[in-house]
Amino acid sequence: MNDIQVTSSGVLAQPASLDLPPDFRFGVATAAYQIEGAAAEDGRGPSIWDAFSHTPGRVHGSDTGDVACDHYHRYPQDVTLMAELGVTDYRFSVSWPRVQPAGSGPANQLGLDFYRRLVDELLRHGVEPRLTLYHWDLPAPLEEAGGWPARDTAGRFADYAELVHAALGDRVRHWMTVNEPYCSSFLGYGSGDHAPGRREGPAAVRAAHHLLLGHGLAVQAIRAADPAARVSIALNLYAVSAYSDSDADADAARRIDGLANRFFLDPVLRGQYPADVVADLAPVTDFDHVRDGDLEIVASPLAELGINYYSRYVVAAPEPAGPPPAYWRPSSCWPGSENVRFLDRGLARTAMGWEIDPAGLVEVLTRVAREYPAVPLYVTENGAAFEDHVGADGEVDDPERVAFLRDHLLACREAIAQGVPLVGYFAWSLLDNFEWAWGYSQRFGIVYVDYGTQRRIPKSSARWYADVIRSAGLRAE
Ligand code: IFM
């Protein structure tokens, strides 16, 4: 584990092989609202993120996804870029309001055509498409009807999944239902930091359940149409540590691990909510929204599991008296555990303020492999925002991102060495893009986007990643 100690800088002279298995998949990931633009084109309807980003004060700099990276028009160039980097897989999401503008009823054929063109272009370039059905852009009419806290939305999502599968199931093998249900529910309906911006603890818990129910129904719909389809979900998971070995801090860690990780892992992989988290949430909800049979649906068998990993939480119990240590995480994201403190360990951070902790990725992967039923794992997102600039030579040099990616890929290697069935890794993200409430102020791409001209400039991290992939390929021969 020496080579994955926390580190914040230092370009590697050598890119070369990281000694990952020869058949390891090296991908990149994006999401529709963050890159596509063309918000009002070819029959696309409005989503909750259109409404949210157009509401003053919600998004940094009043940025919106109206144009974003203009990927809707520039996808051939972006696919060529991926092929040049040598990535094996591309994880993208379908915009629900583009293909079913009302959130129910007939499909918008022009919207489906776009994704068919994109998929065909990927296949033509030998890049495996990995399709995510929901990456946060709920059609606005469904929010007007109650949004994810309303049970009906789960059924609408299953219909939408069936519709997309009917259009693309002949050419897409890997399907992800929902991306990061924690964020859609707890940030969208709890803290209100994400669309639709509601601050209602009970609604957040109901939203989480209906996202999971929609996931299970979608798994069943896709499997019914094609039993060979590889269906999964992408969960954002965190390493969670207690600040001290006091019982009170251990309990704070249990609570946050419960809400962030087990509240999603347990229903999806074990068909039950964790009893301790249900008890923690008693002041918030009595769970009367969970009906008989729901959890069996939620736990419909998966072909693989996607894990998005960015950082670790170090938490402590509420301080009874005296000045609290610095904490940096808004507490309103944690219904029922609002007073838990999130501590700053003074480690290097990304521009988002997230501590860089690749050892946490080993911890998350080994924990999932150890505690849950065996299923092939992917890191479906991992990456970092830094303040990137175009140099006088026209290049973008991002040594911190190179170090970040390297250390997390080494963490993948370590997890595999410890027996984790990890089969692939997706860098977040291919392109700089619309980073939700942070607008365009945060750059996560391995490719720089000049938003004024839409010019793409591969950063040094993109070239480094390409070298890693190339050397892995050479090893496989
Ligand atoms: O940009 C997001 C992505 O949409 C979901 N996972 C985390 C990324 C970085 O915040």
Question: Is a pLDDT exceeding 90 seen at residue 210?
Answer: yes
For residue 101, is it within any domain? yes
**pLDDT tens column, 231-282:** 999 999 999 999 999 999 999 999 999 999 999 999 999 999 999 999 999 9
Tell me how far the alpha carbon of residue 435 lies from the centroid of ligand 1, in angstroms: 7
Q: How far is CA 98 from each of CA 3, 103, 332, rounded to the nearest angstrom?
A: 45, 9, 32
For residue 181, is it within any domain? yes
Tell me how far the alpha carbon of residue 68 lies from the centroid of ligand 1, in angstroms: 15
Residues 6+ apart with CB under 8 A from 472: 17, 18, 20, 22, 24, 26
Instruction: Provide the token pair at 146.
Output: 């109650």
For residue 328, is it within any domain? no
For residue 275, is it within any domain? yes
Does any ligand 1 atom lie closer than 6 A to the CB of residue 432? no
Distance from C-alpha of 136 to C-alpha of 180, rounded to nearest angstrom: 9
Does any ligand 1 atom lie closer than 6 A to the CB of residue 308? yes
At position 257, the amino acid (one-letter code) is: D
Domain hosting residue 374, numbered range: 5-238+258-307+354-474
Distance from C-alpha of 181 to C-alpha of 210, rounded to nearest angstrom: 10
Question: Is a pLDDT exceeding 70 seen at residue 287?
Answer: yes
Predicted local distance difference test score (pLDDT) of residue 8? 40
Question: Is a pLDDT exceeding 60 seen at residue 358?
Answer: yes
Predicted local distance difference test score (pLDDT) of residue 345? 84
Given pLDDT bands bounded at 50, 70 and 90, which one contains residue 12? very low
Given pLDDT bands bounded at 50, 70 and 90, which one contains residue 459? very high
Does any ligand 1 atom lie closer than 6 A to the CB of residue 31? yes
Question: Is a pLDDT exceeding 90 seen at residue 10?
Answer: no
For residue 386, is it within any domain? yes
Residues 6+ apart with CB under 8 A from 350: 356, 384, 385, 386, 400, 404
Q: Which atom of ligand 1 is nearest to the CA of 308?
A: 6
97, 46 contact by CB (below 8 A): yes
Predicted local distance difference test score (pLDDT) of residue 155? 98
Tell me how far the alpha carbon of residue 265 lies from the centroid of ligand 1, in angstroms: 19
Number of domains in the chain: 1
Report the residue among 135, 187, 404, 444 best suited for mutation to probe ligand 1: largest number of ligand atoms under 8 A from its CB.
444
Instruction: Provide the token pair at 108.
Output: 């918008």
Across the range 422-427, mean pLDDT stands at 98
Distance from C-alpha of 371 to C-alpha of 262, rounded to nearest angstrom: 11
Does any ligand 1 atom lie closer than 6 A to the CB of residue 180? yes
Ligand 1, atom 1, lies closest to the CA of 435
Q: Which atom of ligand 1 is nearest to the CA of 135?
A: 4
Does any ligand 1 atom lie closer than 6 A to the CB of residue 381? yes
For residue 40, is it within any domain? yes
Ligand 1, atom 2, lies closest to the CA of 435
> Closest by alpha carbon to 458, among 410, 390, 380?
390
pTM: 0.95
Question: Is a pLDDT exceeding 70 seen at residue 462?
Answer: yes
Ligand 1, atom 4, lies closest to the CA of 31
Whichever domain contains 381, its CATH number is 3.20.20.80
Question: Is a pLDDT exceeding 70 seen at residue 328?
Answer: no
> Closest by alpha carbon to 381, among 355, 361, 363?
361
Tell me how far the alpha carbon of residue 49 lies from the centroid of ligand 1, in angstroms: 14
Q: How far is CA 273 from each of CA 120, 218, 253, 353, 375, rounded to the nearest angstrom?
A: 40, 20, 18, 31, 19
Does any ligand 1 atom lie closer than 6 A to the CB of residue 428? yes
Query: Residue 229 phi/psi, 5° resolution?
Result: -60, 140
Across the range 403-411, mean pLDDT stands at 97
**pLDDT tens column, 40-86:** 999 999 999 999 999 999 999 999 999 999 999 999 999 999 999 99
For residue 333, is it within any domain? no
**pLDDT tens column, 375-388:** 999 999 999 999 99
Tell me how far the alpha carbon of residue 190 lies from the centroid of ligand 1, in angstroms: 18
> Closest by alpha carbon to 327, among 344, 349, 347?
344
For residue 347, is it within any domain? no
**pLDDT tens column, 119-130:** 999 999 999 999
| Helix residue ranges, H only, 169-234 | 181-182, 201-225
403, 348 contact by CB (below 8 A): no
Predicted local distance difference test score (pLDDT) of residue 378? 98
- Structure-model confidence comparison of residues 330 and 25, the more confident one: 25
Question: Is a pLDDT exceeding 60 seen at residue 34?
Answer: yes
Q: Which amino acids are annotated catalytic?
A: 180, 381
